[in-house]
């Protein structure tokens, strides 16, 4: 067994820089495809392409830096960062700045900052630290505490309101608990509990705009010019793309601006319209490849903490993809979640690549961990 | 050792547990991706045609294109109705960040009245955000210039140019040409009934009265279509296919601007009507009702203040006096009456009666007076016409009887529409026994017939009827239908419009036409003639007949004050005439309301028209 480990630990290729080559190639392929689509979706805007390239470069740098840091460090800093993040979330609700109708930003004087982005990393790190301190599967009270650690930031973010991010953070926390071996009986029980709580959420927690989104999701055609417009136009874009698509830069739904938010949340519709089912299959294959590679990293990881963190990040990444595509294709209600690595967008891209950096760190720091 | 082994075992178990869970999670990933792909397959392959159609429906709009309306010219090619570009200031609310601020800034550049602002804001409420809404129409050239220079400051604010109908001669042709106005719900319904609504898909205006209405279908043209690609705001990105609109046909009228102006000057300050036509064809040379009004006011929607002023004016400018003015014909029909008398053998060219200054029915005490109080003594048909003897015609009318008069006069077109090419025409009244029974539920009394002889009693006519009936006299029976339109022109090709004819009036002895025409010529040429003074010293020969109609009110519900009532009681002056005396080429009918004698007031108007007609060579 030792032989196997040392065999797989021998640094190969980019691994000496703590870079996982297959994952890197997968990410680059996605980004390349994404840029191609964005060029069309932005209406061939040079400025937007430039901004996105700068952002990708920055995010890439963050990824490389995060990959250099040992998983041990992450394990050590998980909880403090989590607590700091919680404080900042509370601060956001009290003194935060409002952008696009939601209170998400914290002005630290020199930089505007979204604490919820920090929590995307901190929540799984902290919960994984908490759970992996003892044998798996965790005891019930540990699970409950872990659940509380996940619920508090989720509610704070949902309150901003930012349903999309809240959903992702809840997923990241719950995924840790699930991967840690939370019993199936408990899962079924919680499932039943949640479905019975849904009506309570509807009447006491959800904002009007969120309820409207759900209602239009259930039947978009009832309000074709109001909130159903987005979904209808998006489905028209996707459906009219057909098997082979209308061709790059030729999508009428997107080029003529029938499609809303075409360069951000609805960029998948642009891709579907211009590249057809062929493009969709290619994109999904790339995502599946990245997810599979990350899952492999998680499975091969040395210790439980690393496994849980890697698994959680992977599944969160998947949820990004699934929620976005489900949303624009009418399978899920409209929740503001970008298509990872493809949508035009700032902070979330950096956070996402930071998570991939941590995954690469886990993939490439095995020897050090084993020897410690 | 043991503890360490346990730890390793635990570690292995944990790894196994995690691996199982990870595989479950990954299976979930695969499953959900499969669901997504299945959904994509459903959308992009199985429902492809549905979404393809909806996508096309989104982007392709068929936009109708309005044709250019045909122009209207007088007989010499002078433009009477044209299409001139007008600019309007329009705003697309969706593209304006701060509407209030924009309005305030625009108001600094050009004058915007509070009403314009209010109606604009109302439209903004009613219409879709991406629709262009007019803030101010009919911008002056200066306003257009100011706005064009500053346009970069106002995104979403546009200057729209449209062709708009203008009538350069203002009130000179209102009653003949009429005007166009916005298509209203009545027009729309009529168009739908006639299955023409599609042709008006892009049109804003339609002919409301006059020739503009009568020849609407010639003038309007055929709508065109453009298949365009639009973006989500409805903005046209490019044209995919187009089917150009076909302009309407130009109308060439037989009217003459100079003759019209002569009529207008002659009637200045008076209420009255002038119509002149070519007796050979029915081509109308002059058609003028005074006072007129400016048709340009109606094109963009007349203000209620302006409209009420027109409606309540004592002079009633809205009435087309040529075809809708209802006047007793008075003595102008004496030539017709004499012709019927000759034809029926009631009189001969030489038979005479004694005029004591009045006429009395046998067994009745009422005396019907001649206008010449002391009588004319022995008088024959010539003298009766030349001096407009009433007694002669009282006597003849009684001997003809109502039935013969009514039947014969209808052949001359009295009591019927002439069929002129505008819709605003009244038939007026040629009374008969049946008519009186139906109208008043009374029998016809002999006394009614007496005053019929001098064109009074229940008998009414329009000036146009007088002109066409006089044309029948000079044509010796041939009856024309008066028409304003000479022909149409389309893409440079002139197409004459054939003139119509009515059944000719036949008499037993055609020599009798000459008797009447001689008498009419002598009315003008002999010293005793009622029109002698008006036509003294003309370079051309002419004939005619004066008329002076007693107390009159033309059909309109109107209130008069005391002063007005008196004016309204004064006689109407009438004249029918033709020239030259041999083979006439022009016939006129003149009515001047409430001014007195036909010889003194109406005949001079005819003289001015004839003078212009011959000096300018109008009809050569």
Nearest CA in chain B to A252: B59
| pLDDT surpassing 60 at residue A368 | no
Distance between CA atoms of residues B17 and B349, nearest Å: 137
pLDDT at B553: 40
pLDDT tens for each residue of B525-554: 999 899 999 999 899 999 999 998 875 443
Cα separation values, A175 from A308, A318, B8, B162, B390, Å: 8, 11, 25, 66, 119
Whether residues A256 and B58 touch (CB distance < 8 A) is answered with yes
A153 touches chain B (CB under 8 A): no
| pLDDT surpassing 90 at residue B44 | yes
* Nearest-CB residue to B21 (from A181, A241, A331): A181
Residue range B9-33: average pLDDT? 89
pLDDT at A225: 58
CB burial readout A162-199, b (16+ within 10 A) else e: bbbbbbbbbbbbbbbbbbbbbeeeeeeeeeeeeeeeee
> Which chain B residues in 189-248 lie under 8 Å from chain A, judged by CB atoms?
229-233, 237
Whether residues B48 and A240 touch (CB distance < 8 A) is answered with yes
pLDDT at B159: 84
> Which chain A residues contact residue B11 at CB under 8 A?
303
Residues of chain B with CATH 3.90.1310.10: 63-253
pLDDT tens for each residue of B500-514: 898 999 999 999 999
Evaluate whether B523 touches B529 at the Cβ level (below 8 Å): yes
A273 contacts: CB under 8 Å, gap ≥ 6: A237, A238, A240, A241, A245, A246, A251, A252, A253, A254, A259
Of B158, B150, B152, which is closest to residue B132 (Cα–Cα)? B158
B89 contacts: CB under 8 Å, gap ≥ 6: B106, B110, B134, B135, B136, B137, B139, B143, B147, B157, B158, B159, B160
Residue ranges in B463-561 assigned as alpha helix (H): 463-474, 511-525
| pLDDT surpassing 50 at residue A369 | no
pLDDT at A2: 43
pLDDT at A163: 80
pLDDT tens for each residue of B340-357: 999 999 999 999 999 888
pLDDT at B554: 38
Residues of chain B with CATH 3.40.710.10: 257-294+301-616
A178 contacts: CB under 8 Å, gap ≥ 6: A187, B21, B25
Nearest CA in chain A to B36: A326
| pLDDT surpassing 70 at residue A367 | no
| pLDDT surpassing 80 at residue A101 | no
Distance between CA atoms of residues B290 and B172, nearest Å: 9
Residue range B125-134: average pLDDT? 73
> Which chain B residues contact residue A276 at CB under 8 A?
44
Whether residues A284 and B30 touch (CB distance < 8 A) is answered with no
Q: Of B186 and A107, which is predicted with more confidence?
A: B186
Cβ-Cβ contacts under 8 Å between A and B: the total is: 135
B509 touches chain A (CB under 8 A): no
> Radius of gyration over alpha carbons of chain B, in Å?
37
Evaluate whether A233 touches A260 at the Cβ level (below 8 Å): yes
- How far apart are the two ends of chain B, measured CA to CA in Å? 135
Q: List the beta strands (DSSP E) in B260-408.
A: 272-277, 284-290, 353-355, 358-360, 367-369, 377-379
| pLDDT surpassing 80 at residue A366 | no
Model confidence at B561, in pLDDT bands (50, 70, 90)?
very low
> Which chain B residues contact residue A303 at CB under 8 A?
11
pLDDT at B8: 56
Question: Which secondary structure element, helix H or strand E, spans residue B431, and what is its range?
Answer: none
CA torsion, points A92, A94, A95, A96, in degrees to nearest 10? 30
Fold of B63-253: Penicillin-binding protein 2a (Domain 2) (3.90.1310)
| pLDDT surpassing 90 at residue B486 | yes
Task: Look up tokens 């009265």; give the residue.
Answer: B209
pLDDT at A372: 41
How many structural domains comprise chain A?
A: 1
Identify the bridge partners of residue B331 per DSSP, sorted by sequence position: none
pLDDT at B551: 59
Q: Which CATH number is correct for B257-294+301-616, 3.40.710.10, 3.40.50.720, 3.40.50.150, 1.10.3720.10?
A: 3.40.710.10
DSSP string, B253-273: ES--HHHHHHHHHHTTTS-EE
Percent of chain B surpassing pLDDT 70? 94
Nearest Cα of chain B lies from the Cα of A54 at a distance, in angstroms, of: 31
Nearest Cα of chain A lies from the Cα of B18 at a distance, in angstroms, of: 6
A256 contacts: CB under 8 Å, gap ≥ 6: B58, B59, B229, B230, B231, B232, B237
Nearest Cα of chain A lies from the Cα of B48 at a distance, in angstroms, of: 5
Cα separation values, B77 from B74, B488, B537, B615, Å: 5, 12, 32, 19
Distance between CA atoms of residues B123 and B89, nearest Å: 14
> Which chain B residues contact residue A136 at CB under 8 A?
13-14, 17-18
Quote the DSSP letter at residue B458.
Answer: T
B196-200, B359-363, B371-375: range with lowest mean pLDDT? B371-375
| pLDDT surpassing 60 at residue A110 | no
pLDDT tens for each residue of B257-271: 999 999 999 999 899
| pLDDT surpassing 80 at residue A217 | no
Distance between CA atoms of residues A252 and A257, nearest Å: 8
| pLDDT surpassing 70 at residue A223 | no
pLDDT tens for each residue of B72-127: 999 999 999 999 888 888 888 877 888 888 888 888 888 888 888 888 888 887 77
> Which chain B residues contact residue A292 at CB under 8 A?
26
Of B177, B64, B459, B17, which is closest to residue A179 (Cα–Cα)? B17
Distance between CA atoms of residues A37 and B502, nearest Å: 78
A199-203, A232-236, B42-46, B222-226: range with lowest mean pLDDT? A199-203
B427 contacts: CB under 8 Å, gap ≥ 6: B415, B416, B417
B465 phi-psi bin (left φ>0, alpha ψ -120 to 50, beta other): alpha
Residue range B542-571: average pLDDT? 63
CB burial readout B121-150, b (16+ within 10 A) else e: beebeeeeeebbbebbbebeeebbeebeee
Task: Select from A128, A138, A180, A240 the residue whose CB has the most chain B CBs within 10 Å, as the one to mutate to test that interface.
Answer: A240
Quote the DSSP letter at residue B531.
Answer: T
Evaluate whether B570 touches B596 at the Cβ level (below 8 Å): yes
Whether residues B18 and A236 touch (CB distance < 8 A) is answered with no
Quote the DSSP letter at residue B486.
Answer: E
Domain that residue A261 falls in: 2-371
Residue range B22-33: average pLDDT? 95
* Nearest-CB residue to A178 (from B13, B21, B50): B21
A131 touches chain B (CB under 8 A): no
| pLDDT surpassing 70 at residue A100 | no
The H helix count followed by the E strand count for chain B is 23, 23
Q: Of B128 and B447, which is predicted with more confidence?
A: B447
Whether residues A304 and B14 touch (CB distance < 8 A) is answered with yes
Task: Select from A236, A323, A331 the residue whose CB has the most chain B CBs within 10 Å, as the one to mutate to test that interface.
Answer: A236
* Nearest-CB residue to A325 (from B36, B55, B232): B36
Evaluate whether B423 touches B178 at the Cβ level (below 8 Å): no
Model confidence at B459, in pLDDT bands (50, 70, 90)?
very high
Identify the bridge partners of residue B483 per DSSP, sorted by sequence position: B283
Residue ranges in B348-499 assigned as alpha helix (H): 381-386, 390-400, 402-411, 433-440, 446-452, 463-474
B251 phi-psi bin (left φ>0, alpha ψ -120 to 50, beta other): beta
Average pLDDT, chain B: 88
* Residue B151 CB neighbour total at 10 angstroms: 12
* Residue A219 CB neighbour total at 10 angstroms: 10
> Which chain B residues contact residue A308 at CB under 8 A?
18
């Amino acid at each position: 067994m030792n032989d196997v480990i040392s065999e797989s630990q021998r640094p190969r290729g980019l691994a000496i820089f703590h870079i996982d080559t297959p994952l890197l190639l997968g990410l680059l392929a996605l980004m390349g495809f994404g840029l191609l689509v964005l060029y069309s979706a932005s209406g061939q805007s040079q400025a937007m392409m430039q901004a996105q390239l700068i952002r990708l470069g920055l995010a890439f740098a963050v990824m490389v830096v995060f990959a250099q840091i040992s998983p041990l460090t992450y394990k050590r800093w998980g909880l403090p960062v989590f607590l700091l993040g919680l404080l900042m979330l509370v601060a956001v609700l009290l003194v935060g700045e409002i952008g696009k109708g939601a209170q998400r930003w914290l002005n630290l004087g020199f930089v505007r900052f979204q604490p919820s982005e920090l929590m995307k990393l901190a929540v799984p790190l902290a919960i994984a630290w908490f759970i992996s301190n003892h044998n798996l599967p965790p005891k019930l009270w540990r699970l409950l505490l872990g659940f509380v650690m996940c619920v508090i930031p989720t509610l704070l973010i949902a309150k901003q309101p930012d349903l999309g991010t809240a959903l992702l953070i809840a997923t990241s926390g719950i995924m840790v608990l699930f991967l840690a071996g939370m019993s199936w009986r408990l899962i079924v029980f919680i499932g039943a509990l949640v479905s019975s709580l849904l009506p309570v959420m509807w009447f006491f927690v959800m904002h009007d705009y969120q309820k409207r989104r759900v209602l239009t999701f259930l039947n978009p055609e009832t309000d074709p010019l109001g909130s159903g417009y987005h979904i209808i136009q998006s489905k028209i874009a996707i459906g009219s793309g057909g098997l082979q698509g209308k061709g790059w830069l030729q999508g009428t739904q997107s080029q003529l601006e029938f499609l809303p938010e075409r360069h951000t949340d609805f960029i998948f519709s642009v891709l579907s319209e211009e590249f057809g089912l062929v493009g969709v299959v290619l994109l999904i294959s790339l995502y599946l490849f990245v997810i599979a590679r990350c899952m492999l990293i998680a499975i091969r990881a040395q210790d439980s903490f690393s496994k849980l963190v890697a698994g959680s990040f992977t599944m969160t990444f998947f949820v990004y993809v699934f929620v976005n595509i489900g949303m624009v294709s009418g399978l899920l209600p409209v929740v503001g979640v970008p298509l990872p690595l493809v949508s035009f967008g700032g902070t979330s891209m950096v956070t996402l690549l930071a998570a991939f950096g941590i995954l690469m760190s886990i993939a490439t720091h095995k020897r050090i961990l084993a020897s410690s | 050792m043991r503890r360490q082994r346990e730890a390793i075992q635990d570690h292995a178990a944990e790894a196994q547990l995690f691996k199982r869970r990870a595989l479950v999670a990954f299976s979930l990933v695969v499953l959900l991706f499969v669901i997504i792909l299945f959904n994509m397959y459903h959308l992009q392959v199985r429902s492809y045609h549905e979404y393809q159609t909806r996508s096309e429906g989104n982007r392709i709009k068929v936009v109708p294109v309005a044709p250019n309306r045909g122009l209207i010219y007088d007989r010499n090619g002078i433009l009477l109705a044209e299409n001139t570009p007008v600019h309007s200031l329009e705003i697309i609310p969706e593209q304006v960040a701060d509407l209030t601020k924009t309005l305030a800034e625009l108001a600094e550049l050009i004058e915007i009245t509070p009403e314009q602002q209010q109606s604009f804001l109302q439209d903004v409420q009613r219409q879709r955000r991406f629709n262009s809404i007019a803030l101010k129409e009919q911008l002056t050239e200066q306003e257009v210039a100011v706005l064009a220079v500053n346009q970069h400051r106002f995104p979403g604010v546009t200057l729209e140019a449209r062709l708009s109908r203008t009538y350069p001669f203002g009130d000179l042709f209102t009653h003949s040409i009429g005007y166009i106005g916005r298509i209203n719900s009545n027009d729309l319904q009529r168009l739908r009934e006639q299955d023409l609504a599609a042709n008006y898909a892009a049109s804003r205006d339609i002919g409301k009265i006059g020739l503009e209405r009568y020849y609407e279908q010639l003038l309007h043209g055929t709508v065109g279509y453009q298949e365009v690609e639009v973006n989500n705001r409805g903005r046209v990105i490019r044209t995919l296919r187009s089917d150009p609109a076909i302009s309407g046909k130009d109308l060439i009228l037989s009217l003459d601007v100079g003759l019209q102006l002569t009529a207008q000057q002659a009637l200045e300050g008076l209420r009255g009507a002038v119509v002149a036509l070519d007796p050979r064809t029915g081509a109308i040379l002059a058609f003028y009702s005074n006072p007129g009004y400016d048709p340009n006011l109606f094109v963009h929607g007349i203000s209620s203040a302006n409209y009420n002023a027109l409606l309540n004016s004592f002079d009633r400018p809205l009435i087309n006096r040529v075809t809708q003015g209802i006047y007793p014909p008075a003595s102008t029909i004496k030539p017709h009456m004499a012709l019927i008398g000759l034809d029926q053998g009631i009189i001969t060219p030489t038979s005479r009666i004694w005029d004591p200054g009045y006429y009395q029915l046998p067994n009745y005490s009422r005396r019907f007076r001649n206008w010449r109080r002391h009588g004319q003594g022995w008088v024959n048909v010539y003298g009766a016409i030349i001096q407009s003897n009433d007694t002669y015609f009282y006597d003849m009318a009684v001997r003809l009887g109502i039935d013969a008069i009514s039947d014969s006069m209808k052949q001359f077109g009295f009591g019927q529409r002439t069929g002129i090419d505008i819709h605003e025409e009244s038939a007026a009244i040629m009374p008969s026994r049946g008519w009186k029974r139906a109208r008043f539920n009374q029998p016809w009394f002999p006394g009614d017939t007496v005053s019929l002889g001098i064109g009074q009693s229940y008998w009414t006519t329009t000036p146009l009827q007088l002109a066409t009936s006089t044309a029948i006299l000079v044509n010796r029976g041939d009856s024309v239908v008066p028409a304003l339109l000479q022909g149409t022109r389309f893409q440079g090709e002139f197409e004459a419009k054939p003139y119509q004819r009515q059944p000719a009036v036949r008499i037993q002895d055609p020599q009798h036409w000459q008797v009447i025409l001689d008498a009419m010529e002598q009315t003008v040429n002999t010293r005793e003639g009622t029109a002698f003074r008006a036509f003294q010293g003309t370079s051309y020969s002419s004939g005619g007949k004066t008329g002076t109609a007693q107390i009159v009110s033309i059909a309109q519900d109107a209130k008069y004050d005391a002063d007005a009532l008196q004016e309204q009681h004064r006689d109407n002056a009438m004249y029918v005439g033709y020239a030259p005396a041999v083979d006439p080429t022009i016939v006129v009918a003149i009515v001047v309301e409430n001014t007195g004698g036909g010889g003194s007031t109406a005949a001079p108007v005819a003289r001015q028209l004839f003078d212009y007609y011959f000096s300018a060579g109008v009809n050569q």
